[in-house]
Structure 1
Amino acid sequence: MQTLYIKNMVCNRCIMVVKEEIEKLGLHPEKVVLGEVLLKEESLNSDQLKALDASLVAAGFERIDDRKSRLMESIKNIVIQKIHHDADSEQKYNWSTILSEALHYEYNYLSNLFSSVEGITLEQYIIRQKIERVKELLFYDELTLSQIANRMGFSSVAHLSGLFKRTTGFTPSELKKSRMLEQNRKPIDSIS
């Protein structure tokens, strides 16, 4: 079995597309999760890798083959999974513990690597992802701002509103009232 690491896989639809692209090439994915594919094949020859890379790029993805890039993509996928896909419960996470345990590196190393590659701190990235999730929740208009703040792990509505205003230039209420919510949302994989 061989593990492939794929950049820009951020949702269930991405998983489906990547799996289909791999199967079109006659390969056999055993398991496909955010950012990662486990193939039944032991190894791929250079022609198979070239075809796979071309197919993935055409679909908006990219195979990652260096350790630091894989680690960066893993960090992003864990954050995205927790914020956008495990969002039915309160999100008061200890990010240093989650990332360290999942990736088997000290949090300081992961944080420094992230900052050096992305140009923003890991904490800023997490906040930006949370703000995008808040925009989504505001757009659907099913929860109060207090419920959203609680669900997203903010200490209060004031804390959420302050971060939201610093990040977007609007308070959550202003953005919601202005009907600019849809134009203000960003794709998850473009947040940096």
Structure 2
Amino acid sequence: MEHFAKNCKDGFEFCRKTSSTVHHFCFMKDCKEMDEGNSTTVVVKGLTSNGLIYRIRQELLKAGIQVTAMGPGFISIKQPALLSRLDEVLDAWGIDLLDESESQLIRRTKSALQYSLEQQILPLRGLLRNLSEHTGCPYYQLSSLFLAVEGVTLGRYVLRQRLDKAIERLTYTNGSVSEIAHQTGYRDETHLALHVEAERGLPIAHFLKIRTARFSTYPNRSYELFAPSELATGS
């Protein structure tokens, strides 16, 4: 098995050449979403559990590879020159690098989902159908890819993103619960409340209380000025 690399639009292209096939993988440099340092981020399939992430991190350290960030579906390293060694370690554990076409498909799907959550009011089935049509990829294929990369099916991933959007609006806008439920594709206020409590273990009243406290402290501050990261900390 032979490895080689060259520059490409998004970072550089790393190739694995076997006797009959050349596999192409496009990696991003300085990926701000994954790591703040000067790192190279690779997207992988099969790295989904915390136990496996811990074991792989230990194996990479033994191989002399400096890991700057690591989580379900991705690894960021400091030394792009060691990508061939990284590939060998992952291959021994049955973990595959995401090839260029799969990476593009994941990015297009996530981008289309964010647009839909911001601009359209669709129930879950409508969202999933819209994503499949936008990417030109059958749902079962998209779902299998998300399961391999994110550790959850596409349907589950969409549910989480939709709920995050609803909680963001509950906390940072002055819309009613009924309006926000409608805006984010839930049937009604009760439907949204059930999902919030099931997924977060908290009643909707908890997030409305945060909203009240924020608007009391900053009565003239608009929704756009609140940092999204504040939602996670509740500060």
User: TM-score band (shorter)?
Assistant: 0.5 to 0.7
Tell me the equivalent position of 1:104.
136
Tell me the equivalent position of 2:71.
none
Q: Measured at CA, do residues 58 and 108 of structure 1 come closer, stay the same or move farther in structure 2, by a change above 3 Å?
A: closer
Q: When the two structures are aligned, how many residues end up with a matched partner?
A: 136
> Tell me, what secondary structure is at the counterpart of 1:73?
helix
Tell me the equivalent position of 1:15.
none
Rounded Cα–Cα distance in structure 2 between residues aligned with 1:168 and 1:177 = 15
Matches within 5 A, 1:17-166: 46=6, 49=8, 53=11, 57-58=29-30, 60=32, 66-83=100-117, 85-86=118-119, 89-92=120-123, 94-166=126-198
TM superposition shift of 1:178:
5.0
Matches within 5 A, 1:2-13: none
Q: Is the 8 A contact 1:53 1:63 kept in 2?
A: no
Q: Measured at CA, do residues 76 and 154 of structure 1 come closer, stay the same or move farther in structure 2, by a change above 3 Å?
A: same
TM superposition shift of 1:153:
1.1
TM superposition shift of 1:76:
1.4
Q: Measured at CA, do residues 138 and 74 of structure 1 come closer, stay the same or move farther in structure 2, by a change above 3 Å?
A: same
Matches within 5 A, 1:166-185: 166-178=198-210, 183-185=230-232
TM superposition shift of 1:141:
3.1
TM superposition shift of 1:185:
3.3
**Letter in structure 2 aligned against 1:130:** R
Rounded Cα–Cα distance in structure 2 between residues aligned with 1:156 and 1:162 = 10
Tell me the equivalent position of 1:190.
none
Q: Which runs of 5+ in 2 are unaligned?
A: 13-27, 34-40, 44-98, 215-228
TM superposition shift of 1:63:
9.0
Rounded Cα–Cα distance in structure 1 between residues aligned with 2:127 and 2:31 = 31
Q: Is the 8 A contact 1:136 1:185 kept in 2?
A: no
Rounded Cα–Cα distance in structure 2 between residues aligned with 1:158 and 1:101 = 30
Rounded Cα–Cα distance in structure 1 between residues aligned with 2:173 and 2:187 = 21
Larger relative strand fraction: 2
**Letter in structure 2 aligned against 1:185:** A
Cα deviations by residue, 1:86-106 (Å, 9 ceiling, x for unpaired): 1xx533361332122211121
- Identity, in percent, stands at 24
Greater relative contact order, per chain length (Cα 8 Å cut-off, separation 6+): 1
Q: Which runs of 5+ in 1 are unaligned?
A: 1-44, 187-192
* TM-score, scaled relative to structure 2: 0.49
Rounded Cα–Cα distance in structure 2 between residues aligned with 1:146 and 1:138 = 10
Rounded Cα–Cα distance in structure 1 between residues aligned with 2:142 and 2:8 = 29
Q: Is the 8 A contact 2:171 2:210 kept in 1?
A: no
Rounded Cα–Cα distance in structure 2 between residues aligned with 1:81 and 1:63 = 25
